[in-house]
Structure 1
């Protein structure tokens, strides 16, 4: 990302890890202006006014695969995949999704208050979801950024889950120089670090195993965990013999029923969660002016 864009990023340091998701997508203004001027026959000034008011939906901005006129690209000098327009015709939308709740409400209100109000540079959209959906979206995002080619991802997955469950702890400091994560035979709750090893209470350790299984599982070979590769049946057996299922009140015998109950335990049920999407339109508004000047000449 260019340095100019980095300076424009929002300060999200007051939000606990795992409570903010970031999305970025590009839009081809050449495609949009051509629709208004060539297909609809609008004058450039009228087209400019219409395009300037353009407000993409949350679905368009956060879709796993962008649809025309939006597209995704990691290239330094991308071309539009639809009309081959060069980079100067592209505008970027940055979208930030904040999960509502006690942990984020104060920081969210302060952030919204600090945003400029002129010309709709930022738009805020409120929606609702549920804890189960958010959990699996978090797992999906986690899986996309982990490098499964090395064993380091196991500790990274553990840290990501711990950040989500105990966001006030400085986990970057806890994991600094860490060589191993182990199940504690002494702790009943929580965690402790001893030298270069991190010990987790059995319940917390088992939750980490479950997250590792989910994020790496395949239908044929199961998932990889701190305890090796486990099929669902092997994981359920291990959790049952360790007393974890009884401790969570899970009495089902079928492995898939147990899986559902474990997910319910991890997510806290399907309670509603408010989501706040902040759409940064600054780059879009600037680029629209530039493109309009081309059409107006």
Structure 2
């Protein structure tokens, strides 16, 4: 990461773990200027003014697969996959998604006050969603970030889930040099660390198994968990024997109805929640100006 990119990073240390999701995408300004000047027939100056005001939708900024004029690339000197334009024609748009709630409201307001307001360098968007939708978005994020072919993903996935479950805890410290996660035979609730092992209460451990199954079940016919590779029927059997189903009054007999109840439990169901998006437009505005100078000469 270059020093210039570091200077653009925002301080998110006041936000509890698991409450902020970061997205980044590239937009090809050659594609956009081509649309405004050649297809719409606008003069370069008019196109420049219109493009400066351009506000991409949340769907465009956070889509798992970018569509023109957006694209994703990890290359140091990428070319636009749509028009082959070089790096100088590209702008980066970084987006934060902050989950609303008591644990984040103060930090979110402080962040908003600290950001410059000149030239709409930052765009603020408020939307509403539900816990279930957020949970499935989170599952998709985990699948894209984890190497499911390597068993080592199980511990990072557990940490990510616990960050959502108890966001105020310092999970970075808890998981430092951690080697194993086990079901506790002593704890009735909560968790404790002993040496290089983390012990979870039966209820939390059961939910970790559910999450691991949901993350990995699209990768293989069965889900991969701390208990090995298990099918849905085997997962339900383990949850029944551990009294998780009974404790949560899950009495359905059909396996898929049980799965729906499990998802409702670990996700929070249809409870509504506010989402706050912060779009960093600084690189976009700077690149638009430099690209306009090429068109104007």
Same fold (TM over 0.5): yes
- Identify the residue that residue 33 of structure 2 maps to in structure 1: 33
Residue aligning to 1:148: 148
- Find the counterpart in structure 2 of residue 227 from structure 1: 227
**CA shift in 2, pair 1:284/1:146, >3 Å:** same
Deviations 1:98-139 (A, max 9, x none): 111111111111101111000000110111110000011111
Q: Which moved more, 1:176-185 or 1:212-221?
A: 212-221
Residue 97 of structure 1: SS of its match in structure 2? strand
Q: Name the SS for the 1:83 alignment partner.
A: coil
What is the rounded CA distance, in whole Å, between the counterparts of 2:82 and 2:146 in structure 1?
31
Which ranges in structure 2 are unaligned for 5 or more consecutive residues? none
Which stretch shifts more, 215-224 or 110-119?
215-224
Superposition pairs of residues 247-286 of structure 1, within 5 angstroms: 247-286=247-286
**Other-structure match for 2:54:** 54
Cα 1:183/1:8, change in 2 over 3 Å? same
TM superposition outliers: structure 1 runs of 4+ over 4 Å:
none
Shift of 1:156: 1.1
Aligned to 2:242: 242
CA shift in 2, pair 1:198/1:220, >3 Å: closer
For residues 17 and 219 of structure 1, do their structure 2 counterparts lie closer, same or farther at Cα, with a shift above 3 Å needed? closer
Question: Which residue in the other structure is 2:166 paired with?
Answer: 166
Q: Which residue of 1 aligns with 2:190?
A: 190
Quote the RMSD (CA, aligned, Å).
Answer: 1.3
Structure 1 length as normaliser, TM-score? Answer: 0.97
Q: How far 1:220 moved relative to its partner?
A: 6.0
Q: 1:37 to 1:218 in 2, by over 3 A?
A: closer
TM-score normalised per structure 2: 0.97
Q: State the number of aligned residues.
A: 297
Q: Does 1:217 align with 2:217?
A: yes
Please, which moves more after superposition, 2-11 or 222-231? 2-11
In structure 2, distance between residues paired with 1:219 and 1:177: 28
Query: What's the offset of the Cα at 1:264?
Result: 1.1
Could you say what secondary structure the match of 1:192 adopts?
strand
Structural mapping, 1:120-139, within 5 Å: 120-139=120-139
Measured after TM superposition, the shift of residue 287 of structure 1 is 0.6
